[in-house]
Amino acid sequence: MNELPQQLVNGLLLGSMYGLVAIGYTMVYGIVQLINFAHGEIFMTGGFGALTVWLILPGGTTLWLALPLMIIGAIIVAVTIAVGAERFAYRPLRGGPRLAPLITAIGISLALQQAVWAWYPGATSSLTFPEIPGGPFHFGSVTIQTGDIFLLTAAPLSMAILGYFVMKTRTGRGMQATAQDPDTAKLMGINTDRIIVVAFALGAAFAAIGAVAYGLKYGEVNFRMGFILGLKAFTAAVLGGIGNIYGAMIGGLALGLAETLATAFIADIPGMQQLGGQSWADVWAFVLLILVLLFRPQGLLGERVADRA
Partner 1 sequence: MRQRSLLILTAVLTTGALSLTACGSRDDKGGDAAAGGGTTVVIGVDAPLTGDLSALGLGIKNSVDLAAKQANEKKYVDGVTFKIEALDDQAQPSSGQQNATKLVANKNVLGVVGPLNSSVAESMQKVFDDAKLVQVSPANTNPALTQGQDWNDGTKKRPYASYFRTSTTDAIQGPFAAQYLFNDAKKKKVFVVDDKKTYGAGLAATFKAEFVKLGGKVAGEDHVNPDTKDFSAVVTKIKNSGADVVYYGGEYPAAGPLSKQIKASGAKIPLIGGDGIYSAEFIKLSGKEGVGDLATSVGAPVETLPSAKEFVENYEKAKYKEAFEAYGGYSYDSAWSIIEAVKKVVDDNGGKLPSDARTKVLDAMKGVSFDGVTGKVSFDEFGDATNKQLTVYRYEGNAWKPVKSGTYTG
Residues 30-69 that bind partner 1 (CB under 8 A): 33, 35, 37
Question: Which position among 61, 62, 124, 184 is part of the footprint of partner 1 (CB under 8 A)?
Answer: 124
Question: Which position among 21, 263, 288, 308 is part of the footprint of partner 1 (CB under 8 A)?
Answer: 263
Rounded to 10°, the helix 146-168/4-32 angle is 30
* Nearest Cα residue to 243 out of 292, 291, 295, 178: 178
End-to-end CA distance of the chain: 40
Residues 66-95 that bind partner 1 (CB under 8 A): none
Site string for partner 1, 157-196 (x = CB under 8 A): ----------------------------------------
Question: Which position among 68, 92, 96, 136 is part of the footprint of partner 1 (CB under 8 A)?
Answer: 136
CA atoms of 260 and 12, how far apart (whole Å)? 9
Question: Which position among 159, 264, 288, 309 is part of the footprint of partner 1 (CB under 8 A)?
Answer: 264
What torsion, rounded to 10 degrees, do the Cα atoms 199, 202, 206, 211 define?
90
Cβ 98 to partner 1 shortest distance, Å: 7
Cβ 10 to partner 1 shortest distance, Å: 4
Decide: 110 and 230 in contact? Cβ < 8 Å: no
For the chain, the C-alpha Rg in angstroms (whole number) is: 19
Helix, strand, coil shares of the chain, percent, nearest 5, are 75, 5, 25
Cβ 118 to partner 1 shortest distance, Å: 10
Binding-site residue total for partner 1 (CB under 8 A)? Answer: 53
Decide: 237 and 229 in contact? Cβ < 8 Å: no
Contacts of 147 (CB under 8 A, 6+ apart): 131, 132, 213, 216, 217, 218, 219
Question: Which position among 59, 60, 64, 99 is part of the footprint of partner 1 (CB under 8 A)?
Answer: 99
Chain residues binding partner 1 by CB under 8 A are: 2-3, 6-7, 10-11, 13-14, 33, 35, 37, 98-99, 102, 106, 109-110, 117, 124-126, 128, 131, 136, 138, 143, 145, 218-220, 222, 224-225, 227-228, 231, 234, 238, 242, 259-261, 263-264, 267, 277-282, 293, 297
